[in-house]
Amino acid sequence: MNRRRFLTVAGAAVAAPAIIPSSALGRDGNVAPSERIVMGVVGWGMMGPGNTNAFLAQNDCQVVAACDLDSEHLKQAVGTVNNKYGNKDCKAYHDYRDMMARDDIDAVMLAVPDHCHALVAVEAAKRKKDIYGEKPLARTIAEQQAIVKAVRENGRIWQTGSWQRSVENFWKGAEIVRNGLIGKVKEVEVGLPSGHHDFAGTGDKRDVTEPPERLDYDFWIGPSKMMPYIEARVHMNWRWHYNTGGGQLLDWIGHHCDIAHWGLGFDDTGPYEIEGTGEFPPKDAVWNTCTKYRINLKYPKDVNMTIAGGHSDIRGGTKWIGTDGWVWVNRGGFDSSNQKFKEMSRLPDELRKVKLYKSNSHHRNFLDCVKSRKPTITPVETAHHSAVPGHLGLIAMLVERKIKWDADKEIIIGDDEASKLMSRSYRSPWELG
């Protein structure tokens, strides 16, 4: 019996309304504690606070635990939660496994660097938590497959941080395309950022130093190769080294390629041929991820996709080009060859033969699905398929040749060197699954 059911039954059996405050029963407009989704949050860096605050704003959700490997970040996380509820109930965790072991936690929010997505997410799924997990699904294709398997086998609800699907202009654009209103789609352009961005403001601090006491650096490196501590390679800027992240390409693939697939109806498939070229800093550079790239992908139904960063002919965002016109979407932007599409706030119902999933709030959608046990707007399989083209593009650039992908079997065909790059070895004692 799960915690909520237990409390419901126990509450009915005790039946002592006179001593139970109305707030506990939800009669003051609050949701009774027994009906709240109990959450734990992991990772308090750039994304963790925003996600957590979104959940704290929902009154049918109660955050009871926070976890981080940086004691300062952890203190901030716990403080934020306790401040919101006016109590001291939020429990602090250093090791996510201790938090996941709690039976009273129904769901978790994961906003940790890409290199530890798989370890944390698989543990959460095995511990029967529903999961709001960040994009891209993981650092490698094999790790993504492990997450998909664990989430499925354990019957978990998964929402990906690909929140653009819960925003009106992306939904409108994808519905126009899916309803054939720009004709047969031939080309899709996915424009992503290029270069590196110093999110943490570490500037020229590129020296090897001792890790600060507040951070458990060995744990932070986790399954990746141990590397000397350099501040510019840890918080936020981990995405610029392949040991921990995937550069701009993988940082953004789960946003604009995700939207491209949505419009195409390709949430459960992928490309079959991929080639690309990119500019890479030296392998031993502090930041070594690709700075400029152009990847061409062939998809079923004669669709060609270009994913590019740093090429001025590819506009940032997602652009579908069909036989009868085009539609482009980006954050805060919508454009089309058809003036009518620009003027309408949403597609009129008579044109919506295909109605795409509608969500007005990504975090709310997750909580609703935790309750209904229905799929979220970005379930785990969707996150997997949205990110695979980025992984394959990176692999094609690294082996410097065209690769072929079997999207059903999820294998690279006839290329051992490229196939090896679908996974990576784990530093002892870490093991996946």
Ligand X SMILES: NC(=O)c1ccc[n+]([C@@H]2O[C@H](COP(=O)([O-])OP(=O)(O)OC[C@H]3O[C@@H](n4cnc5c(N)ncnc54)[C@H](O)[C@@H]3O)[C@@H](O)[C@H]2O)c1
Query: What are the phi and psi torsion angles at 292 (to 5°)?
Result: -145, 135
CB of 214 to ligand X, least distance (A): 9
CB of 395 to ligand X, least distance (A): 19
CB of 8 to ligand X, least distance (A): 32
Using the minimum distance from each CB to ligand X, give the nearer residue, 170 or 341: 170
Inter-CA distances, 23 with 5, 20, 26, 31, 192, Å: 19, 8, 5, 8, 48
Using the minimum distance from each CB to ligand X, give the nearer residue, 4 or 233: 233
Q: Please tell me whether residue 334 adopts helix, strand or coil conformation.
A: strand
CA dist 318 and 306 (Å) reads: 10
Using the minimum distance from each CB to ligand X, give the nearer residue, 92 or 407: 92
Bond from prior residue into 429 cis (ω within 30 degrees of 0): yes
| CA-wise closest residue to 36 among 57, 59, 60 | 60
CB of 218 to ligand X, least distance (A): 11
Q: How many CB atoms lie within 10 A of CB 5?
A: 10
Using the minimum distance from each CB to ligand X, give the nearer residue, 222 or 270: 222
Angle between helices 141-153 and 380-399 (to 10 degrees): 160
Please give the DSSP secondary-structure letter assigned to residue 237: G
CB of 362 to ligand X, least distance (A): 9
Start-end of H helices in 69-186: 71-85, 96-100, 117-126, 141-153, 168-178
CB of 433 to ligand X, least distance (A): 16
Inter-CA distances, 323 with 82, 271, 308, 372, 401, Å: 55, 21, 22, 40, 30
Using the minimum distance from each CB to ligand X, give the nearer residue, 9 or 46: 46
Using the minimum distance from each CB to ligand X, give the nearer residue, 46 or 101: 46
Query: What are the phi and psi torsion angles at 340 (to 5°)?
Result: -60, -40
CB of 237 to ligand X, least distance (A): 8
Residue nearest to ligand X (CB): 45
Query: What are the phi and psi torsion angles at 306 (to 5°)?
Result: -115, 125
CB of 345 to ligand X, least distance (A): 24
CB of 120 to ligand X, least distance (A): 6
CA dist 127 and 138 (Å) reads: 19
Using the minimum distance from each CB to ligand X, give the nearer residue, 238 or 320: 238
Binding residues for ligand X, rule: CB under 6 A, are 42-48, 67-70, 73, 96, 111-114, 116, 120, 134-135, 161, 163, 220, 222, 235-236, 238, 251
CB of 245 to ligand X, least distance (A): 8
Using the minimum distance from each CB to ligand X, give the nearer residue, 137 or 303: 137
Tokens read off for 269: 């498939």
Using the minimum distance from each CB to ligand X, give the nearer residue, 262 or 326: 262
| Cβ-contact 50, 80 below 8 angstroms | no
Using the minimum distance from each CB to ligand X, give the nearer residue, 238 or 328: 238
Label residue 165 exposed, middle or buried (CB < 10 Å: 0-12, 13-18, 19+).
buried
- Tell me the helices (H) and strands (E) count for the chain, helix number first: 15, 15
* C-alpha dihedral (236, 241, 242, 244), degrees to nearest 10: -40
CA dist 389 and 370 (Å) reads: 29
Q: Which residues contact 362 (CB under 8 A, 6 or more apart)?
A: 54, 159, 161, 163, 165, 166, 377, 378
Using the minimum distance from each CB to ligand X, give the nearer residue, 134 or 189: 134
CB of 27 to ligand X, least distance (A): 37
